[in-house]
Structure 1
Amino acid sequence: MKPSKSLLMVFLLPILMIVLPAVLLLIIALQVSQEESLQNHQLQSNDLDTLVQMATFDRQLGDLHQRMTDVLSRVEDINLNAMQRYAEYGVINQELTQISNNIDRLATSPLIFDLSQESADALQRVFHQYRSFISMANEAATLNQGEPSFYLQEAQHHFTTFNLFSQQIFEELTLRASARHRESYSALTNTRASILWIGLGLFALLISAALFAAWRINRRLVTVGDAILALSDSRQPLPDLQRVERLSRKHTGPLQRIAVALLSLRDTEQKRRHAERQVHQLAYYDSLTGLPNWRLMKEHLQHSLETNSQTNTYGALAYVDVDEFKRINDSIGHQAGDELLKQMAERLQNLGQQAATIGRLNGDEFAIIIDGLDSDKLKAAEKAELFASQVAHALTQPYCLDGHYQFLNVSQGLVLFKGIDDSVDSLFQYANSAVHFAKRAGQNSIRFYDPAVQAQLESRTELERDLRLAIENKEFVLVYQIQVDSQGSAIGAEALIRWQHATRGFVSPGAFIPLAEETGLIVPIGNWVLHAACEQLVAWQADEHTKDLVLAVNVSAKQFQQPTFVDDVAHALEISGASPHKLKLELTESTVIGKIDDIIARMHQLKALGISFAMDDFGTGYSSLQYLKRLPLDQIKIDQSFVRDLHHDADDMAIVETIIAMGRSLGLNVIAEGVETMEHWKCLNDHQCHAYQGYYFCKPVAAAEMASYCLAPPPTLT
């Protein structure tokens, strides 16, 4: 049987449970009623026949008695011979026998028997007595053995008795027949009523059974229907389907197949939802921290714009960036860096700001959306700044990683929003520009977006574009600032880069070098400087006055940390033919922060080529002192910030003296930059500084002008 037909039988079962038994009961009731009616009709017919026979019997017996009396009373008057009389009497005797048989049958009829067995016996007895006297009268008349009148009188007496008794019985039979008819009708009525009540009871029982079956079926169908509805609504959690599981265990046939199909559908839907959640998690959430990612944060911000527009309140977007996270990540390892980001995410989530949505954009950058600050812009800004301060406080607390404490600083950019006219992309851009200027302002700084800031950002974007074009078009040039010894004689120079912009003219390194550092363009720029410096060394080696000059080249931390840096330097020396002993690489303190063993190994590789090293801007950092004795340095350079007020500031003088003494103790050459006056030179010379660089001796000039300075007599220290 097909499942559809089986299900049809399930739906028709309650109807069949009522209709089929009801039809069967109706047929049985009709048969019983018909049999009762037939019995009642038969009873009435038999009683009526008995009454008719009784009435006919009285009439026949009366006629026979009259004819018998006439015959016997006229026996002498009628000239009949013996044979004729015998024949006549024989006929009468036959009629008496027939009447006797009728009386016997009448006596055994149900009506008389029901009336009284004694009445039937008495009726037979009186008739037989009457017949006896009739027979004796007949014999007497026939055989001439006596007077038949005597016997005839006795027969008349018994006939009268029989007639009276017969009439009495007839009346009683009539009454009894009427009673029997009423009793039969009453029994028939009672039987029909019983059948009706029994039918109604059975019908009620069938309806109850059908209703129970329908309830059971309906319950199962409702269970199936509820399961289907629950499985079809993807917004609701999946049901446990315990009832469906019981259906699959306790039933067979279509219900079991439906239950098994629903359970299979639930498992499939569970797998689908799990896969959908995984896809949604990957699409909208950060895999490392579990926070909303850039895509979901944009949707949240769009929703916040609509919400704050309806409530007429300001919201804020905070852009959080970790300062120098790459340096921290490189020093502790990427795995520990990931753990640090996880702890940062936990701290942001534990701030307790209910109206804040926190997400991770990428790397070490987080975004926070704050709704419903205030309807007043100034108060909203104050609340946003207070929240940013809480963020800074939470994120700058010590982090414990593998038993070691790490510290970090964050910069935050804030932008307020209120209406739906604001663009989501623009708000993120504004917040990013604000955090950019927060970084410039110093560690743990907080800055609000300002149109002027945006103008600077656009200018920076334009400058970055031009800087990339400058690398392609080779718009850079090198200038050189002379370095002298204590006698004022030229011993070398520092190569300084200048950008010769097509429309802006010469662009200061302070304007584009930080941008190149941030964008990574410092690597190709540094490679160009390295090749140009080597070519300049070759040109100086051809001149008697410049062949002994040592050229110092600044190397950025990103350039030095390139895996191919040693090979790049060797390649530049090889293709130019420059002497590696005339090349000096100046490193900043940030260059040697991180994996110190790798840095030292790389420096030794370069030292093996004949290259010397100088530590630039010495004293401005905080980590180089502990590594100073391990680094293969040749020279340390006193930063010009300590030289500028040297002869006026006792603290600067103490620092300079300490650096010179430290260099002497470690066997390092010491050079001071920023020497702009005779007083600077004299003071440094008095403390036995080895070399000097600054405007007092020479401004940064082109290579040709640099050669002329070498031809000029050195200045005199007075």
Structure 2
Amino acid sequence: MNERPAPVAQENALAPNDPLAILNSIGEVVYTWDIPSDRLEWGPNVRDVLGLPAAAVASGAAFNDLHAPDSRASRFETIMKSQLRDQGAGVRYNIQYGMRIDLPSGERAPTTWIEDTGRWFADQNGKPVRAHGVLRNFSAMRNDGQTSVLAANFDPLTGTLSRTRLAEQVSRQLENAKRRHSNFAFILLGIEQLSEINRRFGFNVGDELLAGLGLYLRSQLRITDAIARYAGNRFALVLESCDQQKMLAAGRRLGKLIGDRKFDTSAGPMSCSVRMGGLVAPTDARSVQTIFQHAEEALLTSRSRSAERFVAFEPSLALNDRKRRTQAMADAIVSALNDRRISIALQPIINAASGQPALYEALLRLRLENGDVMSPAAIFPIAEKTGLVQLLDRRVLELALERMSADPTLHLTVNVSSMTLHDIGWVDQIQALLAMHPGTAGRLVIEITETCAIEDIESTCRAIGDIKALGVKVAMDDFGAGHTSFRNLRRLQVDMIKIDGAFIENLTRSADDRFFVRTLIELAKHLSIPVVAEWIENRETADLLTEWQVDYFQGDYFGAASEDAARGRAQSQVSAA
């Protein structure tokens, strides 16, 4: 936000109860917009609120020119594209948007965030002709506890756009590009070896590196470009009016700048190595989901080519072949759902203190028409890509609740995907299914992955709160695989943590894994969150985890997942162990 000009001493100073003094104290200014003439008149305190003279924003067009490109709303679009009708009393609006007001030095200024409340009025033909309202500058309120709007739109760690706002930004860019017959670039940038940095130096250092890179990337982009926290170690860049040649040049430039730079952290100056994948839209993709998918494919390709730090998406025979395989798998999933060939296998989760099963994880099994059974690892990537994962998640939950209704002593955990968790109707579906199976809510645990949780931390917090309000517990699965910060883990308020099995698998052979797992356990203990260790395959690993006071064990050593008489067989295995 611009620094407010020093107040000029006036002969007739405003009294404390003067309306203008009150408006200044709360950062508000009134305005009237005559739409046919585009004349925009402001209250006398416009300079105090915006740091601009009234002459600089004397028209709707001049005001709209200051609109930040990464905002999801504007006054002009809200009024001129409104589907509401003026019935004689005007039409109320309340919107939030950002403005870019350059500093006197000409330097790029941070976004000034505005809340705009008013009414617009129409002529006899229903066309908007006048609007008046109150504009409030709430950028200064970030430290006053009034952060709900900002928190929903921005990643709290890096200050970049949230995943939700990114989707809105890309959607708006698609509309503009189609209307103007232009292109824009979408680039995914991933930090290499962030997991290793977290393991060696701690999550706080990893967070500092992410925050530093986010700030640096923002400083290197044009005012019309946008940057968002895509997920975990990845940022997304949206470059307006950019063809492939410009995109490649921008990618090479950013890669070199980042590679040559040291980022300050509490562990000392740290280098940062990145890889990038990008595409030009709408040339390479015409929907938000396809843009994300193609960029992920390009980034994945860059990771497999040691010499290429930036890879541009391009259709290929291999990609077309992959699409055919994807379609075949999607058809198999739909067929299995229709023919009721989806089932669940139960794997015990053992109470470390008693040595007995405390609950079981319900794992999806898909049986093909020829009788072969497919594992979740082969199913879910395709299901997520084709939009079928929500149907699978619902079916697994249905089967789990049926088992629990039949056995009142059974406690189950059920995995849900990111797409399902962030679906606005998912909690209602859970509630409806629980109503069909009374008494099961308190015995059900919903598992979400760490990566899923941090894709949109605000949305995840709301979803977890809604699920827990139903009496259902929530566990974070694959903990340690993503990059959840300590403060976000506290905010999420999960009931259980399941440490990623990749770190447990080599526990007896890797000193780094032992250090990392002990760190995760101590963190969870500090937050009073029970810990489950997965993928336990031998006695040595179990003994080590017992020494570190892990609460629950899971893995083939204590019982493999089984569809038939799963609980009986698992019980005997636990007793034998």
Structure 1 unaligned runs (5+)? 1-284, 298-317, 325-335, 350-357, 359-367, 371-386, 399-406, 415-423, 426-430, 542-546
Identify the residue that residue 527 of structure 1 maps to in structure 2: 394
Displacement, 1:499? 1.3
**Counterpart pick for 1:618 among 479, 486, 493:** 479
Letter in 2 for 1:477: S
Deviation at 1:557, TM superposition (A): 1.4
User: How many angstroms does 1:596 deviate by?
Assistant: 3.6
1:271-330, CA deviations, whole angstroms, 9 ceiling, x for partnerless residues? xxxxxxxxxxxxxx964247975xx99xxxxxxxxxxxxxxxxxxxx9966479xxxxxx
Q: 1:639 and 2:500 equivalent?
A: yes
Q: Verify the 8 A CA contact 1:289 1:345 in the aligned structure 2.
A: no
1:579 pairs, out of 437, 440, 459, with 440
Q: In 2 relative to 1, CA 436–462 (structure 1 residues): closer, same or farther, beyond 3 Å?
A: farther
State whether residues 614 and 637 of structure 1, in contact with CA within 8 Å, keep that contact through their aligned partners in structure 2.
yes
Residue 249 (structure 2) pairs with residue 390 (structure 1)? yes
Map 1:284-683 → 2, pairs under 5 A: 287-289=175-177, 322=188, 340=226, 349=242, 358=243, 368=244, 390-393=249-252, 410-412=276-278, 437-441=297-301, 446=311, 451-486=317-352, 487-503=354-370, 505-541=372-408, 547=409, 549-593=410-454, 596-683=457-544
Q: CA deviation at 1:685?
A: 0.7
Report deviation, 1:345: 6.7
Q: Are residues 605 and 347 of structure 1, via their aligned partners in 2, closer, same or farther at CA, if it must alter by over 3 Å?
A: closer
Cα distance, 1:646 vs. partner?
0.6
Write the distance in 2 (CA, Å) between the matches of 1:660 and 1:579.
29
Partner of residue 39, structure 2: none
TM normalised by structure 2 equals: 0.51
Q: Provide TM-score, normalisation by structure 1.
A: 0.42
Question: Equivalent residues in 2 for 1:132-143 (5 A)?
Answer: none
For 1:596 and 1:435, the matched residues in 2 are separated by 22
Q: Secondary structure at the match of 1:454?
A: helix
Partner Cα separation in structure 2 for residue 408 and residue 634 of structure 1:
35
**Secondary structure at 1:563 match in 2:** coil
Letter in 1 for 2:526: S
3-state SS in 1 of match to 2:424: coil
Task: Give the drift of 1:472.
Answer: 3.0
CA distance in 2 between counterparts of 1:638 and 1:689 reads 10
The Cα of 1:412 is off from its aligned counterpart by 4.4
Higher fraction of strand: 2
In 2 relative to 1, CA 711–345 (structure 1 residues): closer, same or farther, beyond 3 Å? closer
- In structure 1, what is the Cα distance between the partners aligned to 2:499 and 2:279? 35
Residue identity in the other structure for 1:485? N
CA shift in 2, pair 1:682/1:556, >3 Å:
same
Q: CA deviation at 1:650?
A: 1.0
Counterpart code for 1:476: I
Kept after mapping to 1: 8 A contact 2:418/2:452: yes
CA displacement at 1:537 relative to structure 2: 1.2
Residue correspondences, number: 340
Cα deviation, 1:522-556, whole Å, max 9, x if unaligned, reads 11211111111111111222xxxxx1x42111111
Q: 1:593 aligns to what SS in structure 2? A: helix
SS in 2 for 1:675: coil
1:491 shift after superposition: 1.1
Kept in 2: contact 1:488–1:715 (CA 8 A)? no
Letter in 1 for 2:484: S
Deviations 1:606-655 (A, max 9, x none): 22332111111111111343211122211111111111111111110011
Q: What is the rounded CA distance, in whole Å, between the counterparts of 1:292 and 1:432 in structure 2?
A: 22
Contact 2:479 / 2:498 at 8 angstroms: preserved in 1?
yes
What aligned pairs does 1:193-208 form with structure 2 within 5 A after superposition?
Answer: none
Call closer, same or farther: CA 1:530–1:441 in 2, change over 3 Å.
farther
Residue identity opposite 1:533 in structure 2: A
Which of the pair is proportionally richer in helix? 1
8 A Cα contact 1:437 1:453, kept in partner: no
Q: Distance in 1 between matches of 2:382 and 2:315?
A: 20
CA offsets 1:441-497 (integer angstroms, 9 cap, x no match): 466663776544432332122222332333333321111111112243111111111
CA, structure 1 residues 647+492, in 2 after alignment: closer, same or farther (shift >3 Å)? same
Contact 1:433/1:457, CA 8 A, preserved across alignment: no
Structure with greater contact order relative to length (CA < 8 Å, sep ≥ 6): 2
Given that 1:531 and 1:576 are in contact with CA atoms closer than 8 Å, whether structure 2 keeps it comes out as: no
Deviation at 1:593, TM superposition (A): 2.4
Q: Distance in 1 between matches of 2:456 and 2:574?
A: 46
State how far apart, in whole Å, the 1-side matches of 2:477 and 2:223 are.
Answer: 29
Q: Provide closer, same or farther for how the CA distance between residues 700 and 292 of structure 1 changes in structure 2, counting only shifts above 3 A.
A: farther
Return the letter of the residue paired with 1:631. L
Contact 1:534 1:578 in 2 (8 A): no
Counterpart residue type for residue 556 of structure 2: Y
The aligned amino acid for 2:383 is A
The 2-side partners of 1:286 and 1:437 are apart by: 20
The amino acid that maps onto 1:411 is: G
Aligned to 2:575, the other structure's residue is in SS state coil
Report the identity percentage. Answer: 24
Letter in 1 for 2:480: G
Task: Encode CA deviations 1:217-254: one digit per residue, 9 max, x unaligned.
Answer: xxxxxxxxxxxxxxxxxxxxxxxxxxxxxxxxxxxxxx
Q: Take 1:690 and 1:432, find their aligned partners in 2: how far apart are those partners?
A: 39
Q: Distance in 1 between matches of 2:464 and 2:292?
A: 37
Report the Cα distance in structure 1 between the residues aligned to 2:335 and 2:300, rounded to whole angstroms.
Answer: 25
Q: Counterpart of 1:48?
A: none
Contact 2:187-2:238 at 8 Å conserved across structures: no
